[in-house]
Amino acid sequence: MDASRRQQYLDAMGIPRYVMREPPAADPSSGAAGAGESTPAAPESGNPGADATERQSAWAALRAEVASCTACELHASRTQTVFGVGNESAQLMIVGEAPGAEEDRQGEPFVGRAGQLLNAMLHAIGLAREAVYIANILKCRPPGNRNPTAEEVAKCQPFLVRQLSLVKPKVMLAVGGVAAHNLLHTDEAVGRLRNRIHSYGEDRIPLLVTYHPAYLLRRPEEKAKVWQDLQKLHGMLHGD
């Protein structure tokens, strides 16, 4: 991405020019979308076509299970489930909290105001929304956007675990406290969890934590810290 385009996105994020002394180097070999794409995974059997078909049926089965889930009370108030979106082989998987009103209406994560800011954050490090995979801890909207209960998280968690095992991201980004706390089993504040590389699950997937874009809309003065987190993320994806 050229410098003026990146500046446009930083402007969209509201990042002042002075924090941009060392923007991440653009990856000359890839377009905006390329940075989030996985190098093709080594086929698990001698028959890559069969592996791809199996993956497709695993995704289809998971989608269907989520769409018809009635495991917790949230099924009664939702308009629809909000599964996840993006590149199913992405190097980066972003995990948010739960659908809000707009996501519940459209059936896609991060499509409201917070989603627009998330897109701008991704663009600031040369990533198109379509290049990454985006999912939430919960697949249904909690009424009034209240925090998820422990029971709702427990019922929904297997879906996220299966999404993760299909995407197999190189890096994860937890946005906001609810995602960070449930993925890392801690209640430390986001301000203390950010700026460190954590690891998730048995596969020890490197995981970064940053502020939720909805929080940034309320506290724009924290955007400079998120820009630091994004630069770190860029480095983890590109090995610099």
In the complex, the residues that contact ligand URA under the rule CB under 6 A are 96-100, 103, 109-110, 114, 136, 214
Q: How far apart are CA 188 and CA 56, in angstroms?
A: 37
CB of 134 to ligand URA, least distance (A): 7
In the chain the first and final C-alpha atoms are separated, in Å, by 17
Backbone φ and ψ for 200, nearest 5 degrees, come out as: -115, 130
Residue 9 or 83: the one with the smaller Cβ distance to ligand URA is 83
As measured in angstroms, the least distance from the Cβ of 107 to ligand URA is: 11
Closer residue to ligand URA, CB minimum distance, 59 or 215 = 215
Burial (Cβ within 10 Å: 0-12, 13-18, ≥19) of residue 222? middle
Nearer to ligand URA, 23 or 109 (CB): 109
Of 55, 119, 45, 62, the C-alpha closest to 89 is 55
Q: What is the edge-to-edge ordering of all strands in the sheet holding 133-136?
A: 85-86, 133-136, 92-96, 171-175, 205-210, 198-200
Could you tell me the smallest distance in angstroms from the CB atom of residue 239 to ligand URA?
28
Considering the complex, what minimum distance in angstroms separates the CB of residue 216 from ligand URA? 12
Q: How far is the CB of 76 from ligand URA (least distance, A)?
A: 20
Q: Which residue is nearest to ligand URA (CB)?
A: 96
The 8-class DSSP code of residue 46 comes to S
Give min distance, CB of 88 to ligand URA, in A. 18
Q: Which two tokens stand for residue 67?
A: 């769409």
Which is nearer to ligand URA, 96 or 126 (by Cβ)? 96
Query: Tokens at residue 95, please?
Result: 């995990």
Rounded distance between C-alpha atoms, residue 210 and residue 226, angstroms: 6
| Burial environment of residue 25 by CB neighbours within 10 A (0 to 12, 13 to 18, 19 or more) | exposed
**Residue placing its CB nearer to ligand URA in the complex, 98 or 125:** 98
Tokens of 184: 């890392």
Nearer to ligand URA (CB atom), residue 24 or residue 142: 142
CB of 179 to ligand URA, least distance (A): 7
Instruction: Indicate the residue among 114 and 172 with the shorter CB distance to ligand URA.
Output: 114
